[in-house]
Amino acid sequence: MSNFDFPPYRRAAYCMVGFGFDLTSRSIKVVKVLTLSRAEVCQFDFINCAEVYDLGSGSWRILHLPDMVKDVVVDDELIYSMYNKNDGLFHWRCQRRYHAYDEVVLSFDMSTELFHVTPLPDKYTEYRLDLGRWKECNFALLRDSLALIFSFFDWPYPDDEGHTTVEVWVMKDFDCMVEAGESLSSYSYSHELTLEPRLPGLCVSTGFWNKNELLIWKDVVNDEWRVGRSPFLYDIVTKQVRDVEISGELNFMYRESLVSVKGGCGNE
């Protein structure tokens, strides 16, 4: 039973869940970050809370949240998340409350049970959406580290199909800092590469297909209406493009994890 099922908490408004493997204790854990309404005040007074379930102990424990995590917007419809089994970190892409354009990566270390809040690179934060401009960020793993793949689309002229610039940034570990009594993330980003030349039309990269190839989707337009997306692969080493045939819509990128992709009784 969760600790937040009892007073002084009234109800959960939003919830984000992650799971992974504690590399130190060799135990599977589930972490839950919630926005709750406090029972003793009005229902619109929300607070962020977190707890972790340890399969070894079979119970939930409440976690201490630093101020930076208390300011993160919890989104129960979040689709940008990833677990890295190499360092035991689970990541969510979030936004800071009251900061419309201030996006961050919230990370949880399964071994130390500490949260880290790492602002997205300035290049992405400062790229303002406008008529004919669009951006998207997706997670991937590159050389066992979390990679952020940014797609920036610019449509400068009505008679031009526009172009997309794709950049890859990698999360790096460095010494932890403390500023004004508040712990900052011990992670930053390193710019890894920018695809050259710029891709024609509106494209988005959803991750690495293999070690060197990025999977990119290009909008297919018919009579000025988008009718679908066509995939192709871009080799970051040779800078060559090749088509790929995929049956149906590809909604995820699979990488070896704790969960089997096989169904019951060995069925695929």
Q: What is the pLDDT of residues 46-67, one digit of tens each?
A: 788 899 999 988 889 999 888 8
Question: Is 100:115 a contact under the CB 8 Å cutoff?
Answer: no
Question: Is 160:201 a contact under the CB 8 Å cutoff?
Answer: no
For residue 64, the number of C-alpha atoms closer than 13 Å in the C-beta half-sphere is 4
CA distances from 116 to 52, 61, 92, 112, 139 (A): 15, 19, 11, 11, 17
49 token code pair: 């809370």
| Residue whose C-alpha is closest to residue 161's, from 200, 219, 131, 135 | 200
Q: pLDDT tens across 116-151, in order?
A: 999 899 889 888 888 788 999 999 998 889 999 999
- The pLDDT, as a whole number, for residue 166 is 95
pTM beyond 0.85: the answer is no
Q: pLDDT tens across 200-252, in order?
A: 888 999 999 888 899 999 988 766 666 678 899 999 889 888 988 766 555 44
